[in-house]
Amino acid sequence: MQPALKNRRVVLGLSGGVDSAVAALLLSDAGADVHALHMTNWEDDDGYCTAADDLQDARQVCEQLKIPLHHVNFSKQYRDRVFAYFLAEYRAGRTPNPDVLCNREIKFGVFREHAKRLGGELLATGHYARSQTIDGATALLKAVDRNKDQSYFLHAVSAEALAETVFPLGDLDKAEVRRIARDRGLSIHNKKDSTGICFIGERPFREFLSTYLPANPGVIETPDGVAVGRHSGLMYYTLGQRQGLQIGGRKDAADEPWYVVDKDLERNVLLVAQGETDLLLSNSLIATEASWIGDAPTDLTAGLRCMAKVRYRQADQACTVRQEHATLRVDFETPQRAVAPGQFVVFYAGDRCLGGAAIERIF
């Protein structure tokens, strides 16, 4: 954790979960003047959102730790800056990752601005990541707990924001965080981790998405043009998907599982194939809207050799990244399976996260 916190005001994003609660405890132990800030970003009371319960848990943690709690509503900003993008990506047939925008626009955007109005010198979150100054520049590093590392989702946060951020959990693993919470008597020590869409939570996905985007059912075909079923709407499927196709047990096909291998948006056709097909493998991709932590690497024209992830928790993959006009071309040493346009490719040099970009198309 960043040193020299004694008597400095640190505004912590307190969700009501165990990670941010332990972050608050550690900051208090370090002598910081901790102020907790709880965000409400989704207001629909539909039985799935746990915002009210989370606020009550945050209040209880602050009472236990004797730190002030502030509450702010960013629902409009969330809908305008994150949820609108989420819907637009699904409408375009891609598979979005709203957590990346949620971090850049909300947690390290409007939240950071509000924290400054509260007199915060520093911002803190319960993310599993680390920041460090390397050769005079702020660097984002992977967390010690590789299974919980969240640097993938933080790659679009600016170096300026990271320079003002403390990650108290970056050097801890999840089991130790749980142990600290339990040993120090925090009321939420056994609370389940949040899952699902950022700030919206876990819910029946098709039902939720269909309330915002009209479903457009169509045909499921093989790459040879043989119709094998019907889909409920292309937005409900992603490359590599196996579950929910409802086309198993055909007399004219083998017993191997079916996988989504492509989407034909123009014809509204879902393309599927059986078994571990090469149709799911890609050697290269084109990415747009690159975000670099600090200055862009200087050797992008000649080709930057580094490691990359095309999905969260994927093992690092060796690649070469080249600037091609306004886009990045990424060539992998080993073919990648089920790379989904709309997701992000994130670049690493060892533990250091360099930045990332949105996957536009694959080869």
Q: Would you name the residues annotated as active-site residues?
A: 102, 198
- Which residues, 6 or more positions from 75, have their beta carbon under 8 angstroms from its beta carbon? 40, 41, 42, 43
What SS3 class is residue 28? helix
Positive or negative: CA dihedral 329, 335, 336, 337: positive
Q: What is the dihedral of CA 47, 51, 52, 54, to 10 degrees?
A: 120
C-alpha distance from residue 283 to each of 124, 272, 320, 339 (Å): 38, 20, 11, 10
- Long-range contacts of residues 73-76, Cβ cutoff 8 Å, at least 24 apart: 73/39, 73/40, 73/41, 73/43, 74/39, 74/40, 74/41, 74/106, 74/110, 74/111, 75/40, 75/41, 75/42, 75/43
CA distance 258 to 261: 9
Element (H, E) at 35: strand 33-40
